[in-house]
A and B are shown apart, each in its own frame.
Chain A
Amino acid sequence: MTQPNRLGIGGRIDRSRKFAFRFNGRLYEGHPGDTLASALLANGVDVVARSFKYARPRGICAAGAEEPNAIVEIGATEATRVPNVRATQQALYDGLVATSPNGWPSVDTDLMGAVGTLAGRFLPPGFYYKTLLSPTLWRRAEPALRRAAGLGRAPRERDPDLYDHMNRHCEVLVIGAGPAGLAAALSAGRSGARVIVADEQEEMGGSLLDARDMIDGRPALDWVTAVLAELSARDNVVLLPRTTANGLHDHGFVTLHERLTDHLGASAPLPDGRNAVRSRMHRVRARRVVLAAGTHERPLVYAGNDVPGNFVAGALSTYLRRYAVAPGRQLVLSTNNDHAYRAALDWADAGREVVAIVDARPAPDGDLVSEARARGLRIVAGSAVIEVRGGRRIRKALVAPIDPVAFRVGGPVETLACDTVASSGGYSPVVHLSAHTGVRPVWRDDLQGFVPGEVPGLLSAGGVRGRWTLAEAIADGLAVGCAAARETGFEGPPTAAPEVAPLREGAMLPLYQVPHVEPPMRAPKQFVDLQTDVTAAAIELATREGFESIEHVKRYTGMGFGTDQGKLGNLNGMAIAARCLGQPIARTGTTVFRPNYTPVTFGAIAGRHCGELFEPRRVTALHAWHVERGAVFEPVGQWLRPRHYPRPGEDMAAAVRRECLAVRTGVGILDASTLGKIDLQGRDAREFLNRIYTNAWSQLEVGRARYGLMCRDDGMVMDDGVTACLGEQHFHMTTTTGGAAAVLDWLEMWHQTEWPDLEVYFNSVTDHWAVLALNGPKSRELLAPLTDIDLADEAFGFMEWRTGKVAGVPARIFRISFTGERAYEINVQADCAMHVWQALFERGAQFGLTPYGTEAMHVLRAEKGFILVGQDTDGSVTPEDLGMQWCVGRRKPFSWVGRRGLARPELQRPDRKHLVGLKPRDPAVVLDEGAQIVLEPEIRIPMEMVGHVTSSYFSPTLGHGFALALVRGGRERLGETVYLPRADGRVDAAEIVRPVFYDPEGARQNAGPETKGRDGVLARRPAVESALAHRAGAGAARGPVGLRIEELPFAGQLVLRGRGEDPAFADAVEAALGLALPRTPLQFVGEGARGLSLQWVSPDEWLILVGRDEAEATEQRLRESLAGHFAVVNVSGGQTVLRLSGARARDVLMKSTPYDVDPRNFPVGKAVGTVFAKATVQLRRPSPECWELVVRRSFADYVLRWLLDAGEEYGVAFVSGRSLNEDSPSS
């Protein structure tokens, strides 16, 4: 293939190499350095798309982000397809495959084109709204319209590429690397401030890449090269080419989309077998943003301005000078300003014919005008191109004198034969980013354009604020870069401006829509927005139909709704609306621009937060066992819990039935580690419980536990759980699995904002304690020989707890039951849980010990009528509605949370919905959860619904289906029959019964044979397992290792609470630990030799790490030394430590946390609590070489998987946590 439009010399392309590429199935050739657009033009491809509404042939008309026509889909395979790419921004690579999303069967012979031509007159704005008013019609028409209009479509296969996020912090972010942006980066960089420069193009330099100007007497590009060399040598400057600033958000937060491999191929390459990242979203927090985005040239609006061959003037210069492409032979330039003359001069330089320069101004006279005159180019003054004609390419241009004020043609029309028309109506500052936070741009009459409004932290430089000549832009950039740095406390040496030859430019003449001999409504189509096919006549019609606000005009016509957000056409549309409304443009105003500036692939937005890493999957210490046993898991909150353990050949119903019966007749075990657990310590802990729970806690003795119900202050149930009294001032609260974080938040909120005088500290111990719930009549028999706790009922009654050892491991056992059977909930430190669990199974074999999952748990608890908050309640249910008046302490002195709310008259009504049981008339029926309840079997619409089913199961024990339901006045309806219509028309009948189906007397909790406990059966010493023991062997790196991850398991970990401002407290801590208490925020101190460290977490909280097995002794020393209000909580089982080192450790941290990990902000000895991926961690810097993450045990697996994934491109090695199992006999 030849490239008929390629010039023999010049340009920034590499003619020595050729790239083959395909466009709409046809093979072409281009060179490295080309964009897809420049290569298509070089090959003489005129038609690249069919228009959205009229299916008119369209060609490339611009050279950058503002291109409205050349929107293509890139990628050879379904999985690598990217829709919505502007050909002007896609670098050419060998083998590129691009297609036009629209045009059927092809852009060249488009059948819709004929329809568009014929029907064009009958498709006014609002046509579809008006015609397809009925939703049914619209639903039928939409798919056909979409296919015809060609909006592109999402890929149907999974994207094989990796996408990434990176958090960055800087003093100055410079957006745009043209003359002003580079100058700003230079002066800001010299101040020492951290500077990031982002530019969307393949190479930095902006307009200087095709400039005619000289800087310091040399070609402008030499200056660009020198500046870039200095910037890239500075370690305080980050240069990000191929990076689009897509959104400017609140408080200096900017999202940058960096395309790392889009210029190399359809999919990211695989260097060293490691997946490269295809594109990366930089989440930048900048103290100052310098917007140096320059301007977009506006085309003029004239008839036929969409025929291929129409260009904005500056784009011609770009194609000629940067890509060595002359996309035509004979040029007519239509302009209202001097600057556009460059296009004609460049055209003439390329040896092509300039037919005429048509200038709207009566007497143009700037330096560029003089140059054109001197070179003998024909200048037609006071005139404009009023129409061009042609089909798939321009054939001629009609030129006439115009009177822009009177808006009419003022003389005879001359026809000029040509194939290219360039137009320039002035320059629109690229204000988009400045408007993203809602600040309106400001109109400037002198510029005939909008400039950025006042945005906090944003400074504009260069063209975007009207500094349009090169000398002005550079000087402005230097000054603004300096000012931005200074505002953040960095002062650099003054930077002298380079010398730029001054250029005298004449004033522009405001001109947008060019008058035609016919009135606008009858003239051939004059396009305003090429992407959405909005014409000047459409805007005029909109204003005539009463749409006066520009936002309404936009919505009525569709102007600016395309993926280009009307970059090229919006201002023309506003000017036309203003003319039609007889008001200045300033009053018409502008529409709002929103992120993203250009379309962003979803992959980049999602980053690594997809697939297995979409959200944290919290797992218990027994997870590996569940997996091995083939458990089917279900997500509960962020936890992954076994739902049931099917045996071969079993379906869920069979497995659940077997598990239920095992618990009712023998013994079963549930991993209940996910229950929320909160440690409360302090003189007023008991009073706090009285205030936060509905029931009374004053009489609860040490050694006993009680069920509690928590309401919001409006009286509605929000959580429940059992709380045990560990000591007079020490309680252990449990919450629902899903409610744990919310309850801790709730306690803190009431304490901090309402009752700060109460002396109590709350700490989460959810991850520290694993909970192994033995349930069933044989549970005592199984457990007794494994523990030194006396299990006789007189010694250890129901709703009591005891401490002792189980399988040689210190344990707390709670005699509480969620199944109604005799039960022992064994709490052990999580890293010993697997050992105890296995010991229970070793002994349990003879009893048929059966692991059961959440589904059996639900059946068993529902048979007992035990509620599940969030399933049987929905935020509108009171304790009384649940029939739990027994749990409401009416006589407590303090007005506890919810009491006054419950006194509201609405909550006193007798016909509120009550929790009742439903027994289906057909015993085989299991009612649908959520089914509505009615009082009659004949279904009429409408009919009164009196409630709904909240829980429904088949009970293997009872042999029939049963349900819990909320029914209006239900407790007064016991024995009545109600009806439940199904979606398929059948109606179930059910009897209202009491909600307790099984053992209403509560005898079963003490059932089972008597035994006595004794210790010593155990043959092995307890084994402990670190949080990540099961990941041993993960992340074995090939090649160089940029990130080394090491688990430091089994550290003793204590949370210390107390009054940091009290010197006596600090002294007592120092006396106990031999290390001064850090009292400065974010400080941490350590003694490596002793494995001791002390970290400030808040003014009343510290994290203490000590050596293995030293937690208890340390806690004891602290308790002996401290007095007054304090708390010490052992969390050794609940957290693990990951040490990160290696040359790329900091990069991986930047991918993971929004916190600024630059050494300037994060010196050795600092520790912060922050967000890591979607988990929360303590991030510490113990030495210059490494970082520590203190991670909650249940999140450790997620955090490790995240690190392995994020570090893959740098090479990762993981040294696993160990599992310690000294297999020696014990006493």
Chain B
Amino acid sequence: MFQLYCPVCREARAEEEFRPKGEARIIRPPVPEAASDEEWADYLYFRTNPKGLHTEQWVHAAGCRKIFLVVRDTVSHEVAGSWALGEAPVVVEGAAEGDSR
């Protein structure tokens, strides 16, 4: 059961309040019709699925309903921090803790 910091409500909350929204920064090709089938398939289906730090989107479903970014280690589940959309995550290796930024 994770605890995530919502950068909008500015509090750490239980995982039950959130819903995961997959890998962050998946870029929809700006002119979809110009994208090749391979590029479109890559956008639709292919994800990095890294072992280690991963930037993902979560939505604070029970709270502010805002989507934000979480950088999480997929092995240890340690969270390096949360950022509102539009903020750029800055991750310092090993400097993070679950309940703070």
Contacts and interface: CB of A to CB of B under 8 A. Distances in A.
B75 to A, nearest CB: 8
Nearest to B75: A438
Interface string A7-31: 0000000000000000000000000
A287 B1 contact: no
B28 A754 contact: yes
A1011 B79 CA distance: 66
B28 A713 contact: yes
A752 B67 contact: yes
B33 to A, nearest CB: 6
A843 to B, nearest CB: 42
Given A1098-B8, A1155-B14, A1171-B17, A753 B85 contact: yes
Given A251-B99, A752-B85, A753-B85, A895 B31 contact: yes
Interface in A1087-1114: 1097-1099, 1101
Contacts of A1154: 13-14, 16-17
Interface string B22-64: 0000001101110101001101100000000000010111111
Contact of A901 (B21, B40, B59, B79): B40
A1170 B59 contact: no
A680 to B, nearest CB: 15
Q: Is the interface of B mostly helix, strand, loop or mixed?
A: loop
A899 B62 contact: no
Contact of B98 (A456, A714, A899): A456
Contact of B11 (A252, A756, A1082): A1082
Contacts of B1: 249-251, 253, 283
B87 interface: no
A437 interface: yes
Nearest to A898: B32
Contacts of B44: 713-714, 901
A165 to B, nearest CB: 12
Interface in B76-95: 76-79, 85-86
A382 interface: no
Interface string A435-464: 001100000000000000000110000000
A895 B29 CA distance: 10
Given A456-B78, A1155-B14, A253 B3 contact: yes
Q: Is the interface of A mostly helix, strand, loop or mixed?
A: mixed
Contacts of A1098: 8-9, 63-66
Nearest to A895: B32
Contact of B77 (A437, A748, A903, A905): A437
A115 interface: no
Nearest to B63: A1169
Interface string A846-878: 000000000000000000000000000000000
Contact of A1101 (B28, B64, B67, B78): B64
B67 A753 contact: yes
Contacts of B76: 437-438, 456
A695 to B, nearest CB: 18
Given A1170-B63, A1176-B61, A250 B77 contact: yes
Contacts of A904: 37, 40-41
A1171 B75 CA distance: 27
A1148 interface: no
Contacts of B60: 1169
A251 to B, nearest CB: 4
Contacts of B8: 1081, 1098-1099
A745 interface: yes
Given A899-B32, A1082-B11, A1097 B64 contact: yes
A1168 interface: yes
B67 to A, nearest CB: 5
Contacts of A901: 40, 44
Interface residues of A, number: 41
B63 A1168 contact: yes
Nearest to B24: A753
Contacts of B66: 752, 1098-1099
A1155 B17 CA distance: 9
Interface in A832-848: none
Contacts of A1101: 64-65
A748 B67 contact: yes
Contacts of B78: 456
A884 interface: no
A649 B76 CA distance: 62
Contacts of A653: none
Contacts of A1170: 13, 17, 62-63
Contact of B67 (A253, A457, A749, A1097): A749
Contact of B19 (A456, A457, A745, A1169): A745
A1176 B18 CA distance: 11
Contacts of B97: 456
Contacts of B35: 900
B37 A905 contact: yes
Interface string A877-904: 0000000000000000001000111011
Nearest to B18: A1171
Contacts of B98: 250-252, 456-457
Interface string A733-748: 0000000000001001
Contacts of A754: 28
Contact of A251 (B3, B28, B32, B67): B3
A748 B11 contact: no
A1081 B14 contact: no
A285 interface: yes
Contacts of B31: 895
A894 B67 CA distance: 24
Contact of B16 (A748, A756, A1171): A1171
A1169 B2 contact: no
Contacts of B86: 756
A748 B62 contact: no
Contacts of A1082: 9-11
Given A251-B99, A749-B67, A1098-B8, A285 B17 contact: no
Interface in A250-303: 250-253, 283, 285, 287
Nearest to B67: A752
B33 A895 contact: yes
A754 B86 CA distance: 11
A85 B37 CA distance: 60
Contact of B62 (A250, A903, A1171): A1171
A754 B19 CA distance: 18
Contacts of B40: 900-901, 904
A1176 B61 CA distance: 9
| Residue of B9, B41, B99 with most partner-chain A CB within 10 A | B9
Contact of A900 (B32, B59, B62): B32
Contacts of B77: 250-251, 437
A899 B40 CA distance: 11
A1168 B13 CA distance: 11
A946 to B, nearest CB: 27
Given A457-B98, A1098-B66, 20 more contacts: A250-B1, A250-B98, A251-B98, A251-B99, A438-B75, A714-B44, A749-B21, A753-B67, A899-B32, A903-B33, A904-B37, A1081-B8, A1081-B9, A1098-B8, A1098-B65, A1099-B66, A1154-B14, A1154-B17, A1155-B14, A1171-B16
Top 8 closest A-B pairs, CB basis?
Answer: A900-B32, A1098-B64, A1154-B14, A251-B3, A1169-B63, A251-B98, A253-B1, A895-B32
13 contacts: A250-B98, A252-B98, A253-B3, A753-B67, A754-B28, A899-B33, A900-B33, A900-B40, A901-B40, A904-B41, A1081-B11, A1098-B63, A1176-B62
